[in-house]
Amino acid sequence: MEMLRFATAGSVDDGKSTLIGRLLYDTKTIFEDQFEAVEKASVQMGAEYTNLALLTDGLRAEREQGITIDVAYRYFATPRRKFIIADTPGHIQYTRNMVTGASTADLAIVLIDARKGVLEQSKRHAFLASLLRIPHLVLAVNKMDLVDYDQERFEEVRNEFRDFAAKLNIADLAFIPVSALHGDNIVDRSASMAWYQGPSLLHHLEEVHIASDRNLIDARFPVQYVIRPQSGEYHDYRGYAGTVAGGVFRTGDEVTVLPSGFSSTVKSIETFDGRVDEAFSPMAVAIRINDEIDISRGDMIVRPNNQPTVAQDIDAMVCWMNERISLRPGSKLVIKHTTRSTKVIVRDLSYLLDINTLHRDEGAAQLSLNEIGRVQLRSQAPLFFDEYRRNRQTGSFVLIDEATNVTAGAGMILGPAS
């Protein structure tokens, strides 16, 4: 069975929680005791109907305030696929949570209320999905029941969104008219919208082709940990453990180790279950090589004819996630990139991006909570990276504040800075 991770962004008003509740309910993922708890809570809150949103709002503060604060992960499966939903709040003040949920998603669902059309919020969600390079985007035009399942209205919304989306980098965009409340086009095709010839939402989630989304070209192996049993039959064993971050490694391959630049060949690729001939993303394996070279955590094993950029100056889009401190030129932080951690200094902030209008403010002096901007960083030790759009593993990083140890920012690499 395959696995698909998708993110949903939206607020209660868009019917996001109802949509998720519907997917879980119709795929029989919601259990009786969970449903009873939600029914009980709905009655206590004086709701007229069972509020499926309560299924997803897990924290006491969220239930009390009727809002989603944090990313929640939900699970369901059909015979074809296992699904992991990163359910994120849609309001601008939770941009960091949306970015978090989007970072691992293969697909994003952006919800639009058919009556309201494309709002600022929907544009923002689509922009964040494209910034985080989610390969597949679904625009679910919801509440079709409230516009009499009107084909013309659906097409108006679709065309409006399409015009906007042309400005973004979206590889695959699908439009589905739905009513989450009544279940139209969620699991089964709707009888009320015979004019719609496409798949239901669930059918689309089951069928969308994700196998070629991974980078199987650029071989990248960030060394995580060195396995040295130092005992008995494994006395001289030395395995470089890690998760393949791109490309394919095979026994006998010629490899180069960064930063030393030494070359050798792959002796074997090992797992607990035995040796394997090849390893690809996201397999977690141990690579043994034929020559004794000094290799440690933070190093990267690559192919000699296909190497990542090695640089100390990087150009990146950064989403700032901390409310107490801000990012400004001169800020010193810790960067965690693949398995390497080092210090960085912010050299420059080129512009702050208005995520509603995509306007670039080149006069901005700092990035505050939930703001996104283009920055140039200089690291103490060189980093081995690819552009984020080419490889989400070797092109991403987080920034940590050294005084408080909190994760204060997340970045997507555009390339080396000049």
Partner 1 sequence: MGTAGSCRVEWAVLLAAMSFDLTHLRQLEAESIHIFREVAAEFENPCLLFSGGKDSIVMLHIAQKAFWPARLPFAVMHVDTGHNFPEVLEFRDRRVAELGARLVVACVQEAIDSGMATEETGPRASRNRLQTAVLLDAIERHRFDALFGGARRDEEKARAKERVFSFRDEFGQWDPKSQRPELWNLYNGRILMGEHIRVFPISNYTELDVWQYIKDEQIEIPSVYFAHRREVFERDSMLLATGPCIALMDGEEPFVERVRYRTVGDMSCTGAVESSADTIDKIIEEVAATRITERGATRADDKVSEAAMEDRKKEGYF
Tokens found for residue 45:
């809150």
Among positive and negative, which fits the CA dihedral 208, 214, 215, 217? negative
Q: Which residues of 12-38 are buried (b: 16+ CB within 10 A; e: fewer)?
A: bebbbbbbbbbbbbeeebbeeeebeeb
Measured from the CB atom, the residue of 209 and 363 that comes closer to partner 1 is 209
Measured from the CB atom, the residue of 112 and 334 that comes closer to partner 1 is 334
Q: How far from 382 is each of 32, 140, 258, 379, CA to CA, in Å?
A: 54, 43, 10, 6
CA pair distance 277, 268, nearest whole angstrom: 8
Measured from the CB atom, the residue of 146 and 210 that comes closer to partner 1 is 210
| Contact by Cβ (8 Å): 8, 19 | yes
Measured from the CB atom, the residue of 119 and 241 that comes closer to partner 1 is 241
Measured from the CB atom, the residue of 62 and 113 that comes closer to partner 1 is 62
Q: Residue 202: in which H helix or E strand, if any? A: helix 201-207
CA pair distance 128, 95, nearest whole angstrom: 9
Name the minimum Å distance from CB 251 to partner 1.
Answer: 16
Name the minimum Å distance from CB 364 to partner 1.
Answer: 22
Measured from the CB atom, the residue of 49 and 272 that comes closer to partner 1 is 272
Name the minimum Å distance from CB 154 to partner 1.
Answer: 31
Three-state SS at 386:
coil
Measured from the CB atom, the residue of 99 and 257 that comes closer to partner 1 is 99
CA pair distance 299, 315, nearest whole angstrom: 21
Q: Residue 182, class by beta-carbon neighbours within 10 Å (0-12 exposed, 13-18 middle, 19+ buried)? A: middle
Q: Residue 197, class by beta-carbon neighbours within 10 Å (0-12 exposed, 13-18 middle, 19+ buried)? A: exposed
**CA angle, residues 222, 224, 229, in degrees to nearest 5:** 130
Give Cα 164 to chain centroid, integer Å: 22
Name the minimum Å distance from CB 393 to partner 1.
Answer: 7
Name the minimum Å distance from CB 228 to partner 1.
Answer: 7
Name the minimum Å distance from CB 178 to partner 1.
Answer: 24
Name the minimum Å distance from CB 303 to partner 1.
Answer: 17
Tokens found for residue 286:
């141990």
Measured from the CB atom, the residue of 107 and 157 that comes closer to partner 1 is 107
Name the minimum Å distance from CB 362 to partner 1.
Answer: 27
